[in-house]
Each structure stands twice: as structure tokens, then as C-alpha cells.
């Protein structure tokens, strides 16, 4: 099962014609995210977010288990003259170690068993930027399996003890042709040592 999913990701990355898009949780909040520092783009894919974070002055580690994605990211980084550290890594087997990063980005990836390791991997003062699909969503957005989408308010509770700096989860309220639908976004900070 694990290898099947990884192979599916390899094919998807090989067939994609761009690097993906930069997560709105980053672009909307660039003023909160001023490097330098060590950043981790967890399950980075082809790395649009990695490159954006490197452009903000972070020293970025980009981890994914799809070799195709990392190869595309490395080529794009070379073209742009940006330094990034890629690692081919199954993050469920090798999660980040404690007190390692000043910023951790998780974009469009949800593995709940990893949340304690992600929380512990933040350095004091470090920020977690998280954006992924929510269950309260107009049809057609995100993975079909609801287990891979966040329940209402779930992101607020997955990382206890962090100080909330930004949160957005619009669901299906009001005019669904506007806004950022089908997503939950959070920036939260580790405020104690």
C-alpha cells in the first residue's frame, strides 16, 4: 500500500507541468515570516513553497518521498540561484527531530500521527504554517477520502500549546464563489522554551 501511494505520487509529479502554487497561508502572511532561520517544507512536492521560503531568506530543508518531485525542485532552485537542501525521506518513518526548525510549513498534507513530532520540532519562537483541505468544502476540492481532510476546527486542536497568530477556515458560509474555500490555514508560534 505504502509503495503504491508513493508510486502514484511519482507519476503525478512526473506528469505535472509546473512546480505547484505557493500556499496562500504564506503569501497572505509574508509580513509574519521574515527569515533568516531554518525552515522545513514537509512533504514539499515539487517545491513552489520551498523556493518562496528561500526567497524570504530562510535556509530551507525540503523533504518528500517522491524522487521525481525533489529532482524538479533542485533543477528549479539551480535556475533561480537559490540554495535548498532536499532529502528523500519517508517522513512517517523519519520525522523531524526536536528543536530543529524556526519555521515548519505543511501544505496539502495531513498525517495526524506526525503532529506531536512536528510540534516538538519547532524551536522556541518558531512558527508552524499549516494549510490543507477541509471537510466543510464546496464539492470537488481536495482528496475524495474525508480522512485526508480536516474536520471543522480540527487544525486548531492538533498542536496544543502553540500561540495562534492566524487562522482561516471559511467552509461553505455565504458566497462560495468568493474567498478561499475548502481549506483551513493556520500560523501558530511556540512561545515558551
Ligand X SMILES: C[S@@+](CC[C@H](N)C(=O)[O-])C[C@H]1O[C@@H](n2cnc3c(N)ncnc32)[C@H](O)[C@@H]1O
| Binding site residues, ligand X, CB under 6 A | 9, 20, 23, 43-45, 49, 64-66, 69, 90-92, 107-109
In contact, 171 and 136? CB cutoff 8 Å = yes
Between 66 and 77, whose beta carbon lies closer to ligand X? 66
Q: What are phi and psi of 111, to 5 degrees?
A: -135, 95
What is the nearest approach in angstroms of ligand X to the Cβ of residue 6? 7
What's the order of all strands across the beta sheet hosting 37-42? 84-88, 58-64, 37-42, 101-107, 122-133, 183-189, 163-169
89-107-105 Cα angle (round to 5): 75
Closest of 101, 99, 100 to residue 127, by C-alpha: 101
What is the nearest approach in angstroms of ligand X to the Cβ of residue 50? 9
Q: Which residue is nearest to ligand X (CB)?
A: 45
Between 87 and 156, whose beta carbon lies closer to ligand X? 87
Between 11 and 153, whose beta carbon lies closer to ligand X? 11
What is the nearest approach in angstroms of ligand X to the Cβ of residue 191? 26
What is the nearest approach in angstroms of ligand X to the Cβ of residue 111? 7
Amino acid at each position: 500500500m505504502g509503495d503504491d501511494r508513493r508510486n502514484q505520487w511519482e507519476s503525478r509529479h512526473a506528469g505535472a507541468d509546473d512546480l505547484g502554487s505557493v500556499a496562500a497561508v504564506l503569501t497572505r502572511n509574508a509580513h509574519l515570516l521574515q527569515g533568516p532561520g531554518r525552515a522545513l517544507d514537509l512533504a514539499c512536492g515539487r517545491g513552489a513553497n520551498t523556493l518562496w521560503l528561500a526567497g524570504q531568506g530562510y535556509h530551507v530543508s525540503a523533504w518528500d518521498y517522491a524522487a521525481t518531485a525533489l529532482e524538479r525542485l533542485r533543477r528549479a532552485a539551480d535556475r533561480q540561484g537559490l540554495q535548498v537542501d532536499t532529502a528523500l525521506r519517508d517522513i512517517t518513518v523519519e520525522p523531524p527531530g526536536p528543536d530543529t526548525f524556526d519555521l515548519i510549513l505543511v501544505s496539502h498534507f495531513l498525517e495526524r500521527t506526525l503532529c506531536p513530532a512536528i510540534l516538538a520540532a519547532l524551536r522556541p519562537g518558531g512558527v508552524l504554517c499549516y494549510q490543507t483541505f477541509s471537510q466543510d468544502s464546496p464539492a470537488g476540492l481536495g482528496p475524495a477520502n474525508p480522512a485526508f481532510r480536516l474536520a471543522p476546527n480540527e487544525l486548531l486542536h492538533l498542536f496544543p500549546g502553540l500561540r495562534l497568530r492566524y487562522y482561516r477556515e471559511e467552509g461553505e458560509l455565504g458566497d462560495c464563489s468568493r474567498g478561499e474555500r475548502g481549506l483551513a490555514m493556520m500560523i501558530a508560534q511556540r512561545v515558551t522554551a
